[in-house]
Every structure is written in structure tokens, then in C-alpha cells.
Amino acid sequence: MTRRYAVGAHYGLMDWLVQRLSAVVMALYTVLLLAIVLWNGGLDYALWTNLFAHDGFRLASFLFMVSLLYHAWIGARDILMDYIKPAGIRLLLETIIVVLLIVYLGWTLQILWGSA
């Protein structure tokens, strides 16, 4: 990493790569979840809670959510860079999205490892 700007292009290869790797992680998780549900012939409350009681599944779900949130950030930033030209408004929208994604992350942690 050399110089980083608050707004603008040229963030580089790393984000491009993360966007694709996170996509693969999410696709694998989707197929895994679908396979579990199909294998058990449908979904009910017992299967659903048993699944989330499993540490491995919780970890996989966490990995899915982290991939999703990072992927969403790169995609949102790309869209904003293309359509929102004034840097101030773009920075504001980017900030809103970052805050939103952090809220989603907190909510995820609360669901997976919270007491409620």
C-alpha cells in the first residue's frame, strides 16, 4: 500500500481480488446451506436452531457475512464512483454506506454470538 485517497479511483488490484474471492465464499456458503436444507427434506425450527447451535456453521455464517459486507462495500463504492460526480456528496454517501455496513456487522455478531 502506498498513497490512499479518501475518494476517487485507483484503489487497485486488492479490492478487485477481494470482490471475487468474497463472491466465491458466498457462492459456496449458499450451495452448502441449500444442500443441508435439501438433504433434510425441508426446513423446520428444530433443524434451523440445531444448525446455528453448531460452532462450525456459525463460523461459516460469519465468514459469509464478512464476505458479503466487504463485497457490498466494493460494489457500492464502484457504483458511487461512476454516477456521483461531486466529491463531497460522494464522500457523504460513502460514509452512510460504511456506517450501515458496520451496523449490519454488529447485528450479525449479536445474532451469532449474542445472549438474546
The residues that touch other proteins, with contacts defined as CB under 8 A, are 20, 23-24, 27, 30, 45, 48-49, 52, 68-69, 72, 75-76, 79, 97, 100, 104, 107-108, 110-111, 116
Q: How far apart are CA 16 and CA 27, in angstroms?
A: 17
Identity of the residue, 1 or 45, whose beta carbon is nearer to other proteins in the bound complex: 45
Length of the chain, in residues: 116
Q: How far apart are CA 107 and CA 65, in angstroms?
A: 11
Q: Is 94 helix (H, G, I), strand (E, B) or coil?
A: helix
Closest CB 99 distance from other proteins, rounded Å: 13
Identity of the residue, 7 or 109, whose beta carbon is nearer to other proteins in the bound complex: 109
